[in-house]
Amino acid sequence: MHFQLKSISVESIPEALAKVERYRLLNEPTLAESICLDILAIVPDHQQALISLLLARTDQFRLDMPPKAAQEVLAQIKGDYEQAYYAGLIWERVGHARIREGGTGGGAHAYHALEEAMTHYERAIDFATPGNDDAILRWNTCARLIMQNPEVRPLPDEDPEQAWVRDEAGSRIADA
């Protein structure tokens, strides 16, 4: 079945963005995503809507939303800092999803995703404006998650480069 979607007005964007935030806080990421798509239908490069869409999609990783859906949005976000920071956020949330999933190799998959996130956060730190320590806070969160969870480790005696390739190929979540 197909419906002709209705357009919102440009004037309603600030209130629509507030609703996106509210729905994300209520753990309703599909509703938040829908509103972002409505905003982007009338202002395709609206940066806050793009960032909110990316976040709403990462909120859905536990529902089998592939990281590729968030990475496609990332490609539209402007700024070196933003590109690095949100790439890190995608991989961090992949890591969290892997930990929640558990299963065979889940800890190794989580480790490699978190390690990838930390690499992106390190790049973001280089682009951050003075007083913006968000990337440092996220990097520290990833480091603590690895240090506090003994199951989040690479497989013994594996070459890290080959493990990541295998992780990507065998992954249910990281189809990136």
The pLDDT, as a whole number, for residue 161 is 53
pLDDT, averaged per 10 consecutive residues of the chain (176 residues), comes to 96 98 97 98 98 96 84 97 98 93 86 97 98 98 95 74 46 40
Enumerate the domain spans of the chain: 1-66, 79-171
Radius of gyration of the chain measured on its C-alpha atoms: 17
DSSP one-letter string for 25-54: HTT-HHHHHHHHHHHHHHSTT-HHHHHHHH
Q: Assign residue 158 a region (left: φ > 0; alpha: ψ between -120 and 50; beta: otherwise).
A: beta
CA separation for the pair 37, 120 (Å, rounded) = 26
CB-based contact 152:101 (threshold 8 Å):
no
The pLDDT, as a whole number, for residue 158 is 57
User: Within a 10 A sphere around the Cβ of 148, how many other Cβ atoms?
Assistant: 8
